[in-house]
Amino acid sequence: MQRLSFTGFILAAIATIGFVVSLLSPHAAHSLGKPPPKEAGAIVQQRTQTAAEEAALAISGPEPLLTKVFESIEQNHFDRALQQVEMLIKVYPNFRLAHLIKGDLLLARSRQLTSFGGGGGGQASNEKIADLRDEAAVRLKGYRTKPAANSVPRYLLQMLPEQKHAIVVDTQKSRLYLYQNQNGTPRFVADYYITQGKLGSEKAREGDKKTPIGVYHVTSSLSPQKLGDFYGSGAFPINYPNDWDKRQGRNGHGIWLHGTPSDTFSRPPRASEGCVVLSNQDLDALSKNLQIGLTPVIISNSVEWLSLDDWQSERSSLLKMIEGWRQDWESRDTDRYARHYSQKFVADGQNYKAWIDQKRKVNAGKTWVKIAAANISMFRNPGKDDHVVVTFDQDYRSNNLSNQMKKRQYWIKEGGQWKIASEGAV
C-alpha cells in the first residue's frame, strides 16, 4: 500500500483532490475492528481519560485531533483513526468534515477509495466534498504553521491601554488570531478557523462577495434573537468602509463577524457574502474579549510577522515621526511643519497647497503654540495600501485659541519617508 509522509500529505491535500484516505485499500481497512476486551479497571480508567480528552477538545477546537486522525491513517492505525474521528463527532456533532472522514474509513473496509469522499453522489455532492477538502487543508495548514512564539503581527504597533484585545485575520490561511494587550505588547491568546467571501478578499464594491482588507474596529453587537438562525449565536459589525476605503472609492456595507446556522458547525473557507464567519463555539469564546467601539479588527491577505525586536524598532521609529511633527507644529515654522505632509494630502476639502497656505496664515497670528498628543494608537494597514492609522487625543493651546479633540491621521510612505496623507477629528 502506497504511503506518504505527513508533510507530503499536507502539501498534496492543498494542491490536489487526492486525500490521505485514498491511501486506504480494502485489505488495510479491514484492520478497523473492535479492540480486544479489557479489564473493568482499565475500562474505568479509559472512560476517565476519554472524558478529559473530550473536555480538552471542546476548548482547543477540532484541529489538534483532526491532525492526529491523519497521522493515525498514515501510520496504518485505522482503528485508532476511527476512534479519534468518532470522538470529534461526539464533541462536534455537526462537524461535516469529521462525518465524511468517518464514512470513508468505513467504506474502505469493503473497497478501495480513490478520492476523498469516495462514496460519491453526483455533481452537487462532489462540490460539497471539494468544499470539505478545502476546509481540511486550511485547517491543517493553519494548525501546523502557527506563528513563532516570539513574533507579533506587524500591524499592532501600539494599542490604547483600554484596548484589551485585538483581532488579526489572515484570509489566505482562513485563520483569525486573537491578541491580548499586555502592557502595550501584543500577546497571542488563541486562533480560530474562519470563512471569508466567496470570491476572496480585497473588497471594493457592494455585492462583490469579497472580504475587505484593512484596519477596522467592532462597532456594535447584534443578538441572535434579532438576526435569525443563519447568523448563529450573534454578530459583530465592523466599520467597513472606513475613511481610507471611502478615499479609495470603495463602497458596500454590512461586513460582520458572525456565527453559523444551528445545524452547521463550520462553513467552507470561501462561502460568505464578504463577512468573517466563525463556528458558534468560537464566536462565543471570541465575543468575551470584544469591546464595542474599541477592539481593532485588522484583516490581511497574508499576515506579516515581526520579531519583538523588529516590532519595537518599527514602533519607536513611527513614534519618533509623530513627535517630530508635534514639535515642528509648536515651532510655528510652517516649512518645518509642511515637511511632514504628503503632496497627496487631502482633508476637509483642502489639498496640500491649500492646507499649508492656511497654516501659514494661522501661524502669522500666533506668538506661542503648545501641542500635547496623548493616548496614541497606531495600526499599520496590511496589503498594497501601505499606511499607518494613528489616533490620539490632541490638546491644542495658543495665545488666542485652545481646543481639544480626538484626531486621526493616515501616514503613508512617500520618497522613503513617512508623510501624513490625511487627518481630521474622529
Q: How does DSSP assign 315-345, residue by residue?
A: HHHHHHHHHHHHHHHHTT-HHHHHTTB-TT-
- The segments of the chain whose pLDDT lies below 50 read 1-34, 44
| Domains of the chain and any CATH numbers | 6-144 (no CATH), 151-303 (2.40.440.10), 307-425 (3.10.450.50)
**Alpha-carbon distances of 356 from 339, 389, 423, rounded to whole Å:** 10, 21, 13
Give the integer Cα–Cα distance in Å for 246 and 40: 68
Q: Are 179 and 224 in contact (CB under 8 A)?
A: no
Please provide residue 369's backbone torsions phi and psi, each rounded to the nearest 5 degrees: -140, 135
Give the closest residue to 235 by CA, choosing from 203, 259, 207. 259
pLDDT at 59: 74
Cell reading at 301: 491577505
- Strand 185-193 relative to strand 175-182, pairing: antiparallel
Q: What is the pLDDT of residue 412?
A: 96
Q: How much of the chain is in helix, strand and coil states, percent to nearest 5? A: 40, 25, 35
Report the pLDDT value the prediction gives residue 127, as an integer from 0 to 100: 82
Determine the pLDDT at residue 52: 66
26, 48, 172, 209 from 301: Cα distances, Å = 42, 43, 6, 15
Give pLDDT, residue 48: 54
User: What is the per-residue pLDDT across 214-226, written as a single tens digit (0 to 9) for each?
Assistant: 999 999 999 999 9
234 within 8 A of 221, measured Cβ to Cβ:
yes
pLDDT value of position 78: 86
Can you give the pLDDT at residue 118?
60
Euclidean distance between CA atoms 351 and 349, whole angstroms: 7
Q: Mapped to the 3 state alphabet, what secondary structure does 289-302 carry?
A: CCCCCCCEEEEECC
Residue with cell 491649500: 354
For cell 510652517, the residue is: 334
Instruction: Identify the pLDDT of residue 152.
Output: 97
